Chains A and B, each alone.
Chain A
């Protein structure tokens, strides 16, 4: 699978997610919010591609061990 195919599907943060996550950290104008949104989409695309690749290689097949405290 090509890199382009693999990195499809990064989700943009919803306005309320942006507002709540940035609260207390930064006040951004519209231009900065747009650029940050693009950056987040790009980063989430990378994360999705990594997860897809892991599944392909069966590196994180569902574990038989239950995770407990």
Chain B
């Protein structure tokens, strides 16, 4: 088994494919071997082995004919199994959709597939928006850094799959942190883009909070996937990556002003290990030239509350027809979580949206003083701590992430250390609305400073 290939970044794999040092078929074979060896992680629901090999053979043949391939040609990816994929089984980890093969998919997913990425498998999600329960279709993924613990979600399988070398990148969804939290807990980069930049639904109504995003091994990979998801990717592959990296690096300050909401962090339920890793990362960034400035955000706690009112109300809307048709197939947790929004009034829902608009403006004003805002990604190290029922229902596990789904600001997590249990700890950087490319450039600079 070639573990070097299965631990390489997307950017490095593209170079190897471009130079002919590896073929798409050999890459897919390496990853399928790894998947077979790591089935106990429960990271994947459905593996499309023969389909992936056939696609790789087709791409190798096209390459041999001198045809120009897409910017992700040959890259083995997984897609969270709650994201509809046209023509591919999409179970949502729910018995209610055990045999569902959608005919449509979000435009951003189509872009990834048309860019040549090869879908190896669907990655295990939480069943819809609940917490894992015994009657889910598949068991919960284990954390590859410490298999005594389950993995944080809801894009838990995506995070585990990338970290364990079962794919080179994974596409997940983030409605309150579900790309950033599993990326952070698996030592990865995960970007939640500015609302509206990544087409994130194939449904009749675009959810307010949900953003499709990639979980990757490096910040460079995150940028590459972001460009494909947004439809802004150039047609050439490796040469342009370094060119764009230079362009973006030159557009950011060499002494970035990092805003740190100390008071908000101190009054949040942050575990000691998280706080220590966060402080150490900021010290490294400061030593590399960053300036740390205290910022005093207002209303973030209520913003997190409003996020969950919107999330559960819209979730009930999206599940209502399925509950009527196949509610018996829902696991206990998913059934209850998808029902609670039925008891929220239209007025409550609109108040929460209004709060989001108010907060969006006040968060945006903070960027008059700083270039990015830094927080821990998760207040808790383990998924078990994040899922304590009383806290999970109030969204305390998303105390740093959820508010930016409501305001729409871009936010990215990068790796910033390890807990005593070996489980990685993430650091979140938040940027001005629409500044996703700059935010990734700052993330790259901070990641380099802290040795990521």
Min distance, Cβ A59 to any Cβ of chain B, angstroms: 5
- Please name all residues of chain B whose beta carbon is closer than 8 Å to the beta carbon of A51 when the two chains form the complex: 348, 351
- Please name all residues of chain B whose beta carbon is closer than 8 Å to the beta carbon of A35 when the two chains form the complex: 336
Cβ of B262 < 8 Å from any Cβ of A? Answer: no
Interface size on A, residues (CB 8 A): 29
Known contacts A25-B324, A35-B336, A53-B302: does B394 contact A46 (CB below 8 Å)? yes
The answer on a CB contact under 8 Å between B335 and A26 is yes
CA separation between A47 and B340, bound complex, in Å? 13
CA separation between A62 and B344, bound complex, in Å? 22
Contacting A6 at CB < 8 Å: which of B302, B348, B351, B354? B302
Cβ of A3 < 8 Å from any Cβ of B? Answer: yes
Interface string of B318-346 (1 = CB under 8 A from A): 00100110010000100111011111110
- Please name all residues of chain B whose beta carbon is closer than 8 Å to the beta carbon of A32 when the two chains form the complex: 332, 335-336
The answer on a CB contact under 8 Å between A39 and B340 is yes
The answer on a CB contact under 8 Å between A42 and B393 is yes
Q: Name the residue on B nearest A47 (C-beta).
A: B348
CA separation between A16 and B128, bound complex, in Å? 28
Interface string of B383-426 (1 = CB under 8 A from A): 00000001001110000000000000000000000000000000
- Please name all residues of chain A whose beta carbon is closer than 8 Å to the beta carbon of B340 when the two chains form the complex: 36, 39-40, 43
CA separation between A36 and B348, bound complex, in Å? 18
CA separation between A50 and B390, bound complex, in Å? 19
Interface string of B258-291 (1 = CB under 8 A from A): 0000000000000000000000000000000000
Of residues 21 through 61 on chain A, the ones whose CB sits less than 8 Å from some CB of chain B are: 21-22, 24-26, 32, 35-36, 38-40, 42-44, 46-47, 49-51, 53-54, 57, 59-60
Contacting A36 at CB < 8 Å: which of B302, B339, B358? B339
Contacting B351 at CB < 8 Å: which of A24, A42, A43, A54? A54
- Please name all residues of chain A whose beta carbon is closer than 8 Å to the beta carbon of B312 when the two chains form the complex: 43
Some 27 contacts from A to B, beta carbons below 8 A apart, are A25-B327, A26-B339, A32-B332, A32-B335, A36-B339, A36-B340, A39-B340, A42-B390, A43-B308, A43-B340, A43-B341, A43-B343, A43-B393, A44-B343, A44-B344, A44-B348, A46-B306, A47-B309, A47-B344, A49-B302, A50-B302, A50-B352, A53-B299, A54-B351, A54-B355, A60-B351, A60-B354
Interface residues of B (CB under 8 A from A): 299, 301-302, 305-306, 308-309, 312, 320, 323-324, 327, 332, 335-337, 339-345, 348, 351-352, 354-355, 358, 390, 393-395
6 closest Cβ pairs, A-B complex? A46-B305, A47-B348, A53-B302, A40-B343, A39-B340, A50-B306
Interface residues of A (CB under 8 A from B): 3, 6-7, 13, 17, 21-22, 24-26, 32, 35-36, 38-40, 42-44, 46-47, 49-51, 53-54, 57, 59-60
